[in-house]
Amino acid sequence: MSIENKKTLDVYQDTAHLYLENTIEHDRLDPEKAKKKREALDEFIRISFSSLPENAKVFEIGSADGVNAKYIESLGYDVTASDIADDFIKATRSQGVKTIKFNALEDDFVEKYFAIFCWRVFVHFTEEDAKKLISKAYQNLEENGIFVFNAINREAKEVDSEWVDFPGEYHMGVERYYNYFTQDKLDEIIGQTPFQIQSFHKEGGKEKNKWLVYVLKK
């Protein structure tokens, strides 16, 4: 676990409630846009998980408000949500989803899963953090299991990484570590594992290339 990631997790432990409040307020500014983004993510999740057996065990890393975990559960899967910040854990549990305190880089999985879902978490990972989690995900998936994650595209940024407090939805009054990956670098990291890239696409932002989105298959 990198120093950068540890410091950022400490920030979220203190300010997760602000993130939750700001996310709600941000969605209220443009409800139609928020609705379309939600529908698009739900459809992506549904399609990505469609090959899993009924009631398959799914683990989510970094559940935050619990909305993704709740939707995955609604598809008929046995979901375990997780986060490191107490306020995020409370928010996810309020959705009625089984939730545990879990540091994906430091804690051990207690069982294997058919899918591991990790949305908007790699943004706070160094390259070494990313290598560690991708390898760890492979080891803790059932055969033919999938690992779903996204990362911010370096092509859309002027720096490789930075400490920043974004305005709007992500404003929390304190800087956090953000790291930006190229597709080539992530492909290289994935290539160091037995994972196969089941699907890949770019999405978000004005150029539709803000996020690199991967579905990996064991």
* CATH code for the domain of 65: 3.40.50.150
Burial of 82 (0-12, 13-18, 19+ CB in 10 A): buried
Q: What is the pLDDT of residue 128?
A: 98
Whether residue 160 is predicted with pLDDT greater than 70 in this model: the reply is yes
Mean pLDDT, residues 143-167: 94
Tokens standing for 98? 């089984």
Residue range(s) defining the domain that contains residue 179: 3-217
- SS3 assignment, position 72: helix
* Residues 125/9, Cβ–Cβ less than 8 Å: no
Instruction: Let me know the angle formed at the C-alpha of 78 by 60 and 19, rounded to the nearest 5 degrees.
Output: 30
Measured CA to CA in angstroms, residue 144 lies from 12, 13, 157, 217 at distances of 33, 34, 34, 6
- Does the pLDDT value for residue 170 go beyond 80? no
Integer angstrom CA distances of residue 119 from 69, 137, 143:
11, 14, 22
The lowest-confidence range among 19-23, 85-89, 150-154 is 19-23
Statement: residue 29 has pLDDT above 90:
no
Q: How many domains does the chain have?
A: 1
Q: What is the mean pLDDT of the chain?
A: 95
In three-state secondary structure terms, 171 is: coil
Predicted local confidence at residue 66, as pLDDT: 97
What is the arithmetic mean of pLDDT over 191-208? 96
- H/E stretch holding 34 reads helix 31-48
